[in-house]
């Protein structure tokens, strides 16, 4: 997999996972009636159903004129094993070569995760979850778990209880059922504008439904139906739509497919595949939102990159998920925070 980037002061070595400067293309998103925002989750985890938001007028123009557009992809399983190196025994090394170094960029110490569900005709649980477990259920449980405390050493504050969740929905039409990067950025712009969600206290997570491919360019895609271009499972990044609208985001296509779901590590069904990838992108977003904060200077690895295959059956509140571990500088190894 070849990195793409626009040179900047934030450039750094990357191996296998892409830093992309995203190019303009046409936007195809179906608009809805304008309505006010009410879908904010309460602390006890209850919420109203996801609120449908309209495409903002001028979304296509905003995408075409956006700047500093960067993404970091999570490679497919077939590619990941060749990229991460071997961290076994790393915990015995005082100054492990796998440790992350702070590059001076911004961090996310508290935020609202805005889950944006695209083209889901039923419920988030039916489209991306199992039973009553949804991406929002997982993020709420993660917010009060041991594993979120692994991030404390990177964000510089206690992460426990600092990340709330809200839910939105929209519909979109994608040419040949393949979402382009500009299609997705148009959804992100519209959600950000609708919810007034930008800056380092908001993260927009876009969930694409089963059967929808997504391409950054012609050969850099989530495309389980075409292995020739299938090189990533998800990604996180940031974009400037204007000097005052800097947006952090992640994009999660459907994860319960060969190449993204680790065999034997989805005992609870679709929710495990969704949650493990979502945790990966969430932790990397808060510790490296603009790709210039916490990472390994030698390899470009971020907090979650080295630990993707270390699945743990995590009990969070009254729910259980199998998700990956996270890398800890404190113990120089992968951990679930326990």
Instruction: Give the pLDDT band of residue 1 (cuts 50, 70, 90).
Output: very low
- Is position 1 within any domain? no
Instruction: Give the pLDDT band of residue 47 (cuts 50, 70, 90).
Output: low
Nearest to 328 by CA among 59, 87, 84, 45: 87
Instruction: Give the pLDDT band of residue 302 (cuts 50, 70, 90).
Output: very high
Instruction: Write down the pLDDT at residue 317.
Output: 86
d(CA 150, CA 120): 33
For residues 228-243, give the mean pLDDT.
97
- Asked whether the predicted pLDDT for residue 33 surpasses 60, the reply is no
3-class SS of residue 92: helix
Higher pLDDT, 220 or 308: 220
Instruction: Give the pLDDT band of residue 82 (cuts 50, 70, 90).
Output: low
Output the pTM of the full model.
0.86
- Is position 123 within any domain? yes
Taking only the tens place, the pLDDT of each residue in 117-156 is: 999 999 999 999 999 999 999 999 999 999 999 999 999 9
d(CA 19, CA 139): 26
- Is position 7 within any domain? no
Higher pLDDT, 41 or 175: 175
- Asked whether the predicted pLDDT for residue 32 surpasses 50, the reply is no
Nearest to 306 by CA among 86, 92, 94: 86
Instruction: Write down the pLDDT at residue 204.
Output: 98
d(CA 209, CA 269): 16
- Is position 18 within any domain? no
Instruction: Write down the pLDDT at residue 26.
Output: 27
Instruction: Write down the pLDDT at residue 56.
Output: 85
Instruction: Give the pLDDT band of residue 308 (cuts 50, 70, 90).
Output: confident
pLDDT above 70 as % of the chain: 82
Instruction: Give the pLDDT band of residue 5 (cuts 50, 70, 90).
Output: very low
In sequence order, which ranges of the chain are alpha helices (DSSP H)?
59-64, 77-80, 124-128, 135-143, 152-155, 181-195, 270-287
Higher pLDDT, 311 or 85: 311
Higher pLDDT, 33 or 321: 321
Cβ–Cβ < 8 Å for 236, 73: no
Average pLDDT, the chain: 85
- Asked whether the predicted pLDDT for residue 312 surpasses 90, the reply is no
- Is position 19 within any domain? no
- Asked whether the predicted pLDDT for residue 81 surpasses 70, the reply is no
Give 243's contacts (C-beta < 8 A, 6+ positions apart). Answer: none
Higher pLDDT, 310 or 52: 52
Domain count, the chain: 1
Higher pLDDT, 76 or 96: 76
The domain containing residue 212 runs over which residues?
51-87+94-335
- Is position 325 within any domain? yes
- Lowest mean pLDDT: which of 21-35, 124-138, 176-190, 223-237? 21-35
Higher pLDDT, 129 or 20: 129
- Is position 216 within any domain? yes
- Is position 288 within any domain? yes
Give buried/exposed letters for 34-69 (b at 16+ CB in 10 A, else e): eeeeebebeeeeebeebbebbbbeebbebbeebeeb
């Amino acid at each position: 997999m070849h990195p793409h980037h626009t040179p900047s002061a934030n450039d750094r070595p990357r191996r296998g996972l892409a830093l992309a400067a995203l190019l303009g293309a046409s936007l195809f998103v179906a608009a809805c009636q304008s309505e006010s925002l009410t879908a904010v989750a309460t602390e006890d985890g209850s919420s109203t159903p996801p609120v449908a938001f309209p495409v903002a007028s001028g979304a296509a123009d905003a995408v075409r004129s956006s700047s500093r557009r960067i993404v970091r992809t999570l490679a497919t399983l077939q590619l990941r094993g060749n990229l991460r190196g071997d961290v076994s025994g790393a915990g015995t090394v005082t100054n492990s070569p796998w440790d992350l170094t702070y590059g001076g960029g911004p961090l996310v110490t508290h935020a609202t995760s805005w889950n944006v569900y695209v083209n889901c005709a039923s419920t988030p649980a039916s489209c991306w979850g199992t039973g009553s477990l949804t991406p929002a259920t997982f993020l709420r449980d993660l917010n009060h778990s041991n594993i979120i405390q692994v991030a404390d050493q990177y964000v510089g504050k206690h992460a426990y209880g600092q990340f709330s969740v809200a839910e939105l929905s929209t519909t979109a039409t994608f040419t040949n059922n393949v979402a382009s990067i500009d299609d997705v950025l148009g959804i992100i712009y519209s959600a950000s504008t609708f919810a007034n969600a930008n800056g380092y206290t908001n993260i927009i997570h876009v969930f694409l439904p089963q059967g929808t491919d997504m391409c950054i360019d012609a050969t850099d895609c989530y495309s389980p139906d075409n292995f020739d271009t299938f090189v990533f499972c998800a990604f996180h990044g940031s974009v400037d739509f204007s000097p005052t609208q800097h947006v952090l985001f992640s994009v999660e296509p459907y994860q319960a497919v060969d190449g993204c779901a680790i065999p034997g590590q989805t005992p609870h069904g679709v929710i495990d595949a969704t949650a493990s990838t979502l945790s990966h992108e969430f932790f990397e977003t808060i510790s490296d939102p603009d790709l210039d904060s916490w990472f390994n200077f030698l390899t470009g690895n971020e907090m979650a990159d080295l630990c993707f295959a270390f699945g743990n059956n995590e009990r969070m509140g009254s729910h259980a998920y199998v998700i990956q571990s996270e890398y800890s500088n404190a113990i120089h190894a992968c951990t679930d925070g326990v």
